[in-house]
Amino acid sequence: TLPICFENIYIEGIRGLSQRDIKYAQTFNFNIRLLGICSIKSDGRIEQRVHPCLISANSDIGRISGVTGAIRLQTDALGSLFLSGAGAGQMPTASAVLSDICDVAANRKVCAFGVNANNLKQGDFLTINEHEGEYYIRLTVKDVDGVLAAVSQIFSRHSIGIEKIYQDTPEEGKADIVFITHDENEKDIKEAVKEIAKQSFIVGKPVVIRSEV
């Protein structure tokens, strides 16, 4: 059993997102969900991250809404398991608090990870820059000629492939361009977006969302 190493968990909130991103995601039949993801890779290293994700609107997690919470477990013997239920509200909160009180009253001590913390093994963790997957990238730009060509050249220099493009005009003189990439490396995406953000036609900060298709 491996410990959760909070120092090695990549954490990103939803502050940088807008209603436009929710709308554009739905254009591609995605929903945006804040997910906590932990997995053991083929080389034995551990990936831990919490951040907004693009999820297929037709998937189990993509259909979750409101105060409902969900967990998906990938197991060796049982395959994929999906659990969902109320995650907030008067009765769920009262149930959780009462359960803790009963455990204390009965002097029940259950190890959080099934074994004593002193017996947990140390793991080798991936950094977020080693993550690979599809990405949603939204650029708000000045509505002038040559923008798409310039952005495409930057993506090409960083060997980033584009699967889908969508363009909208949220207000006069500005345009939103949304890209869905192929499977790419996080470091390459960051370097490309950093270069794009320096261009004179960019308005505001680019938005990047990882996809969990």
pLDDT one digit per residue (tens) for the chain, 213 residues? 555 667 889 999 999 999 999 999 999 999 999 999 999 888 989 999 999 999 999 999 999 988 888 999 998 899 999 999 887 788 888 998 998 899 899 988 777 667 777 777 778 899 999 999 999 999 999 999 999 999 999 999 999 999 999 999 988 999 999 999 999 999 999 999 999 999 999 999 999 999 997
pTM: 0.87
Comma-separated ranges of CATH 3.30.70.260 domains in the chain: 129-211
- Which residues neighbour 134 within 8 Å (Cβ) at sequence distance 6 or greater? 54, 163, 180, 181, 182, 183, 184, 210, 211, 213
Domain with CATH 3.30.360.10 in the chain: 6-119
In 3-state terms, what secondary structure has residue 79? coil
C-beta separation of 71 from 60 below 8 A: no
State how far the Cα of 168 lies from the Cα of 20, in Å rounded to an integer.
10
**Residue 122 and residue 169: Cα distance in Å, rounded?**
50
User: Between β-strands 46-56 and 30-40, what pairing exists: parallel, antiparallel or unpaired?
Assistant: antiparallel
The CATH class of 6-119 is alpha beta
What's domain 129-211's architecture?
2-Layer Sandwich (3.30)
